[in-house]
A = this chain, B = another copy of it.
Amino acid sequence: MTRRPQNTRDRLTQTAARLFQRSGYNGVGLTEILTEARAPKGSLYHHFPKGKQDLALAAASWASDGMRDMIAASFNDAQDFRAGVTTLCHKIAKLFDSSPQWETCPIAATLFESPDNPTFRDHADRLYESWIEDVRGHAERFGVAHPDMAADTLFIVMQGGWQLARARRDSNVLRRLPEHIPWDRFQPDGECGLTRPDPDR
């Protein structure tokens, strides 16, 4: 949230991230990015030799870092896993309200437009998995029953909820997201055959 991105590279990355989120990778031209970032074309191809593709990868990574910060902020000082999830949902809802342009998952908008591009696919996969792994870490820390599944559930519900909130133009969909999660399956005394991995600590 720096008010003045110093170097041209960061300015390009963040401007591109914002515009890609709004209109998708193919929906934004280099001219538009360059104009808004107040940078000439030469700078772009100096910092990003492969042009638009490199820029998209950098923009997606930057956006992903923002999401990971939000995940950390939500879970770090939470009482339990469920509280962390609730906080995260509210944070996302607030973000949804604050900017009408934040309307697509930044990763999906930037990297999911060309299924034939393996570089984009792999990068998106890696970024998504980093979110899920972060959440799984917190789930383990709080001792939930199936941390892997809990992390997957949260990801699924967040992505789907985002989509529904967008269609309905209603951030409350995101705030009510915890209601769609099967909490009893994640309680430490789960009914499943799996035992808790680490009781103490």
Q: Which residues of A pack against B, CB within 8 Å?
A: 22-27, 100-101, 103-105, 108, 112-115, 121, 124-125, 128-129, 149, 152-153, 155-161, 163-164, 166-169, 173, 177, 179-185
CA of A152 to CA of B164 in the docked complex: distance in angstroms? 8
Given A23-B114, A26-B23, A167-B124, A156 and B180 contact (CB-CB distance below 8 Å): yes
CA distance A163 to B155 in the complex (A): 9
Given A25-B27, A149-B179, A157-B180; 7 other pairs, CB 8 A cutoff: A26-B26, A125-B167, A152-B164, A158-B160, A159-B163, A160-B163, A182-B184
A128: chain B residues within 8 A (beta carbon): 164, 167
Least CB distance from A68 to B in Å reads 16
Q: A152-B164, A164-B155 are in contact. Are A115 and B101 (CB under 8 A)?
A: yes
| Nearest neighbor of A128 in chain B, beta-carbon distance | B167
Q: Are A104's CB and B112's CB within 8 A?
A: yes
Q: Can you list 12 contacts pairing A with B, beta carbon distance less than 8 Å?
A: A22-B115, A23-B113, A24-B24, A26-B27, A108-B163, A149-B180, A152-B180, A155-B160, A156-B164, A157-B160, A160-B160, A182-B184
Q: Are A159 and B153 in contact (CB under 8 A)?
A: no
Q: Give the top 3 A-B pairs by smallest Cβ distance, nearest first.
A: A160-B160, A156-B160, A159-B160
A108, A163, A164, A169, most chain B CB atoms within 10 A = A163
Taking CB atoms, residues of chain B closer than 8 Å to A129 are 167
Q: Tell me whether A103 and B125 are in contact (CB under 8 A).
A: no
